[in-house]
């Protein structure tokens, strides 16, 4: 189901927007059905002490399922479905170049804590994506984290996550 389109002189290749929309709609229908099932399990009717725990979510589930089905219909059979490319390979690569490192960063937080992981993340982002020199990147990363440290720990007394290794323990925070 590829679709070609000329933009900036080069053909754009990728999945059509309405197909992505259909997949999202399907996910919505599944979520709606799960909510309905779970609400019925909890008691979606009238119990001895009033409306049950699933009373409200049940109708929410019904609305999600119906609107999901509506979007699915519009995406696949609707009159003005969008068939242009959802995202081309260049764009996808750029998006993933932020999303994947961000996931690694979140994983690193649980090990190294917010400060150390953030410093490394900012420095590496600047070096590899921003093409800055190592010195500039490290200075910027340290400066940003120092500001955060003073703002959260010292000023607002909000302790941030130090991680399993807690490399900042010597500061007494």
Partner 1 sequence: MEEISALMQGFSVILTPMNIGLMFVGIILGVLIGVLPGLGGANGVAILLPLTFTMSPTSAIIMLSCIYWGALFGGAITSILFNIPGEPWSVATTFDGYPMAQQGNAGAALTTAFTSSFVGALLAVIMITFLAPLVAKFALKFGSPEFFAVYLLTFCSFVGMGKGSPFKILASMALGFALASVGMDTVTGQLRLTFGQSELMRGFDFLIAVIGLFGIGEILLSMEEGLKFSGKTAKIDPKVVLQTWKQLPQYWVTSLRSSLIGIWMGITPGGATPASFMAYGLAKKMSKRGSKFGTGQMEGVVAPETAAHAAGTSALLPMLALGIPGSPTAAVLLGGLLIWGLQPGPLLFVEQKDFVWGLIASMYLGNIVGLIVVLSTVPLFASILRIPFSIIAPVIIVICAIGAYTVHNAMLDIWFMLGFGVVGYLFKKLDFPLAPLVLALVLGDKAEDSFRQAMLVSQGDVMIMFSNPLVGGITTLALVLLFWPLISKALALVKPKKHDEFAVERPVD
Binding site for partner 1 (CB under 8 A): 17, 20-21, 24, 28, 31-32, 35, 38-39, 42, 46, 49-57, 60-61, 63-64, 66-68, 70-71, 74, 86-87, 91, 94-95, 97-99, 102-103, 105-106, 109-110, 114, 118, 121-122, 125-126, 129-132, 140, 144, 148, 151-152, 156-161
How many alpha carbons fall within 13 Å on the CB side of residue 70? 7
Select 105 or 173, whichever has its Cβ closest to partner 1. 105
- Closest distance of CB 9 from partner 1, Å: 17
Distance, CA of 69 to CA of 5 (rounded, Å): 29
Select 71 or 168, whichever has its Cβ closest to partner 1. 71
Distance, CA of 162 to CA of 164 (rounded, Å): 7
Select 126 or 168, whichever has its Cβ closest to partner 1. 126
Distance, CA of 160 to CA of 149 (rounded, Å): 9
- Closest distance of CB 27 from partner 1, Å: 10
DSSP annotation of 130 reads S
- Closest distance of CB 31 from partner 1, Å: 7
- Closest distance of CB 172 from partner 1, Å: 19
| Token pair in block for residue 10 | 């080069």
Q: How far is CA 26 from CA 36, 40, 76, 126, 137, in A?
A: 15, 21, 11, 38, 43
């Amino acid at each position: 189901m590829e679709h070609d389109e000329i933009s900036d002189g080069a053909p754009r290749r990728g999945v059509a927007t309405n197909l992505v929309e259909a997949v999202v709609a399907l996910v919505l229908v599944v979520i709606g059905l799960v909510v309905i099932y779970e609400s019925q399990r909890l008691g979606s009717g009238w119990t001895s002490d009033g409306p049950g725990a699933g009373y409200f979510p049940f109708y929410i589930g019904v609305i999600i399922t119906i609107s999901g089905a509506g979007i699915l219909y519009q995406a696949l059979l609707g009159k003005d479905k969008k068939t242009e490319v959802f995202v081309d390979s260049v764009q996808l690569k750029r998006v993933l170049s932020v999303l994947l490192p961000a996931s690694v960063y979140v994983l690193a937080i649980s090990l190294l804590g917010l400060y150390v992981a953030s410093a490394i993340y900012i420095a590496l982002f600047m070096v590899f994506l921003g093409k800055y020199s190592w010195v500039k990147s490290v200075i910027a990363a340290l400066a940003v984290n120092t500001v955060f440290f003073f703002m959260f720990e010292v000023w607002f007394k909000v302790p941030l996550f130090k991680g399993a290794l807690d490399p900042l323990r010597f500061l007494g925070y």
